[in-house]
Structure 1
Amino acid sequence: MRSILHFCRIAIIRVVDFFYFPFLRFIPLEVFRYGVTGGANTVFDIFLYFIFYQYVLDKQILDLEVIAISPHIAAFLLVFPITFTTGFFLAKYVTFTASELRGRIQLFRYGLTVLGAILLNYIFLKIFVEYAGLYATLAKALTTVIVVTYSYISQRYFSFKTARISRAAQS
């Protein structure tokens, strides 16, 4: 199993890095990898959401006897653990490979940053749509820029933090 994961990691890195050359002058490799893997995970999330909403739930309310969950929320709840996991693995093994934190610490911190991203999405959508009067799609686009920036910074410097090398050690 470990060799399969290692093969997948190397294959993904090679594919992503192959497309990096045109962007070499503009952005660091880590930022490029973050954008590609994060974007791919987002597309995967939307695809799974569509499948679960349309075909698994058949656009019907999910009745659990003690609670009924609307199909759009149920689809989100079913897809979230899947894309949370793929997002974590892509961040850990493709984007932020230099982190020396233990895996369980990274996972816990990653979970905190994802919860923060969900909260920021909610807050900024509320502010932009209900208080600023922006069109919902424009509000979502602005919110996405804010949340992606937050996510990169929090994952880079918190979830997958790397040890700092002193100037004396660099010389």
Structure 2
Amino acid sequence: MKQLHARIRTLILGFIDAFYPLFKKLMPLQTFRYAACGGFNVALDISIFTLVNNYIVHVLKQDVVQIGPFPMTPHIAALFVAFGVSFPVGFYLSRYVVWQQTATSKRVQLARYFLVVVICLLMNYALLKLFVDHFGWYPTISKVIITVVVTTFSYLSQRHFSFSERSFIRKKID
């Protein structure tokens, strides 16, 4: 398993780093890797959201989707399905491709990452409800607009909290 992980990581880094010379003057390598991995994960998230919202739920012709005991609108169900895929992919890419130089344990990073992602999920949920249910905007366009706002928050949070050596929650006592 470790060999497979090392091979996947090497392939991803090789692919991303091959494009870095084009952007070297614009940003540091770590920021470029975050943009590439984050861009992939956002594209994956929006693709799954669109597929579930526009095709799967549409084909089933349901106005309410039941996930476990929770009834929800199709766009909210699509949000949670997309989250179920993009969360583990995003953590893997963040941990092993973007923020590799850290001594913080995987467990701590996962807990911090999960906290930030849950906040992002709540932001997505609230803004989707506002844009789609109250303003009447199209769900996929709303999701793209929301992604811009949430991505900015996510980058800053992941950089300064999830994968940081020093957490702003823990203060050093001198």
Where on the TM-score scale, by shorter chain, does this alignment land: which range?
0.7 to 0.9
Indicate yes or no: 2:88 matched with 1:85. Answer: yes
- Corresponding residue SS for 1:63: strand
Aligned to 1:14: 14
Aligned to 1:62: 65
Mean Cα displacement is larger for which, 98-107 or 65-74? Answer: 65-74
Between Structure 1 and Structure 2, how many residues are aligned? Answer: 158
Kept after mapping to 2: 8 A contact 1:98/1:162: no
1:97 equivalent among 97, 100, 124: 100
TM-score by length of 1: 0.75
Mean Cα displacement is larger for which, 144-153 or 61-70? Answer: 61-70
Aligned to 2:164: 161
Aligned to 1:36: 36
Indicate yes or no: 2:55 matched with 1:52. Answer: no
Shift of 1:48: 1.8
Shift of 1:79: 2.2
Distance 1:20 1:70, change over 3 A: same
TM-score by length of 2: 0.74
Kept after mapping to 2: 8 A contact 1:100/1:161: no
Kept after mapping to 1: 8 A contact 2:103/2:165: yes
Q: Which runs of 5+ in 2 are unaligned?
A: 167-174
Shift of 1:145: 4.4
The CA distance in 1 between the partners of 2:123 and 2:5, in whole Å, is: 32
Shift of 1:3: 1.3
CA RMSD, Structure 1 to Structure 2 (Å): 3.2
- Corresponding residue SS for 1:32: helix
Indicate yes or no: 2:148 matched with 1:148. Answer: no
Q: Which runs of 5+ in 1 are unaligned?
A: 164-171
Aligned to 2:113: 110
Shift of 1:162: 3.0
The CA distance in 2 between the partners of 1:50 and 1:125, in whole Å, is: 13
The percentage of counterpart residues that share the same residue type is 36
